[in-house]
Amino acid sequence: MKILVIIHEYPPVGGGGGQVAKDICTGLVQRGHAVTLMTSHYKDLPHEETQEGVRLVRISSLRTEPYRAGLITMGAFVLAGLWHGRRLIREFQPDVIHVHFAVPAGPVAWALSRFKRIPYVLTAHLGDVPGGTPEKTDGWFHWVYPFTHTVWRRAAQVVAVSDFTRSLARKHYPVDVQVIPNGVDLASIQCDRDESGSLPRIIFAGRFMRQKNPLRLVEVLARLKHLDWTCVMVGDGPLRGEVEAAIAEAGLASRFTLTGWITPPEVLDWFDHSNILFMPSRSEGLPVVGVQAIAKGLAVVCSRIGGFLDIVADGTNGYMLDPDDVPGFAEALSRLLTDEAHLRDFQQASMIQARRFDLPLIVKQYEEIFEKVVKDSRS
């Protein structure tokens, strides 16, 4: 098959959704399919290149930050995507279009689908579902919501990355939604850690924004000054200054490392040298960092929300609490930090849990959907 993929952010730009798209595309190429992907251009990245067999076409969309795309940037992506997409359709002649995120890439896929009667499959990641990430969907998303129904309704198949994302989508869009979780290539993500003599390390990975709740992490760890630990916060975003100020005010500057925005391979390297993933998020689809973390053998302390319900077995490989339960988070972390055997049991359980998300299984599910959609469109 020839598959055209459309997504507004792709590594090294963007967050987990882009990494998901990359993994699926690479897996499809390995299975013998031709994949061209259209995404946003950023700074000095090449406008066209091939990575691991995937042809990347980056289009100008006024993107100025690697971790955030505002309303103007998304609008520019739609306009540029319509122009460049028509050219790609003529050149590549895809059998199917795979679009990630109903907003902003969804309208591009819908228009290109009508242009040449090519079916498209939509993958929803939560941030494109009303109510999924309130700081977006309760703000500017409110104005574009009326125009999203056609994108969902006209998709040959809709996929959600978690049961939570599916249930939320179904409240707003009466369409069939199949759940395919985000995956990781377990064969390439082997954990090789040397922790002899090192302090337990807690890690946070994500955008510094309200949805991810990074200030809660600092508040919780300020209660655990008496215990041995270090913490690394991977990512960047609008709350970076507030996070740094909170760390300084708590007198914890020597125990925190803030890496800024780094590449996915660098994130995985930090996981190799960490023990506990701490994510007090307020909303999540199926967090890629969560799947990667359990594959790397990290115990998880997180909010009892969304996609974390799919990757954490509470009391077995992690603890799940309310996003505002500061004492509860502190107690959960304390148990893991003070009982080495308990922590090791959780870490082993995480690696077992990760087998459900092995990337080849995920790619095969997408392949089966694409094949069915193409067959149905031709008949």
> Both 279 and 314 in a single domain?
yes
pTM, two decimals, is 0.81
List pLDDT tens digits, range 222-269.
Answer: 999 999 999 999 999 999 999 999 999 999 999 999 999 898 889 999
The residue range of the domain holding 123 is: 2-183+359-378
Region 309-315: mean pLDDT is 94
**Of the ranges 23-27, 129-133, 285-289, the best mean pLDDT one:** 23-27
pLDDT tens digits, one per residue of 267-278: 999 999 999 999
Q: How confident is the model at residue 193 (pLDDT cuts 50, 70, 90)?
A: low
Question: Are 165 and 53 within one domain?
Answer: yes
Q: Cβ of 252: how many Cβ atoms within 10 Å? A: 17
Q: Which of 26, 96, 18, 9 is nearest to 359 (CA)?
A: 26
Mean pLDDT of the residues in the chain:
93
Summarize pLDDT for 123-163 with one digit per residue, the tens. 999 888 887 776 655 566 667 778 899 999 999 999 999 99
Residue 339 lies in a domain: yes
**What tokens were used for 355?**
């087998």
| Residue 103 and residue 127 in one domain | yes
CATH number at residue 170: 3.40.50.2000
Amino acid identity for residue 183 in this structure: G
Q: What is the pLDDT of residue 137?
A: 53
Task: Kindly state whether residues 41 and 139 are assigned to the same domain.
Answer: yes
Nearest to 189, CA basis, from 309, 262, 279, 271: 271
The predicted structure's pLDDT at residue 364: 97
